[in-house]
Amino acid sequence: MTLESLQASHPDSALRVARKRRGWTQAELAHHAGCHKITVCKLESGKTQPGLHTAIKLAEALGVRVESLWHTVDQEAVDAEEQERREVEHINRVMRGRK
């Protein structure tokens, strides 16, 4: 089974793809990460999101970055916040120029 076919069959679970790439069962990943198999199962199915400690332990066990397993940043929100910050800075510069 190729990585692409794994992603196509489970597009929502980068954790599952990384685990399968290692050739591990859910129980083996849980053992390496020091968590319960049911935790891995719920995370892979999207029924729950990991706490920071669990996310780090799973990423370390798999030898990957946490960000590659969970997209914890909403890029649109970050972009909107950055745009708002720039607009406020511009308004402040204009207002300082009027004094």
Torsion of the alpha carbons at 49, 52, 57 and 59, rounded to the nearest 10: 70
Closest CA to 39 of 24, 25, 50: 50
Structural domain boundaries in the chain: 3-71
Structure letter (DSSP) for residue 73? S
What's domain 3-71's superfamily in CATH?
lambda repressor-like DNA-binding domains (1.10.260.40)
> Mean pLDDT across the chain, nearest whole number?
81
Average pLDDT over residues 62-86: 74
Q: State pLDDT tens for residues 41-63.
A: 999 988 888 888 898 899 999 99
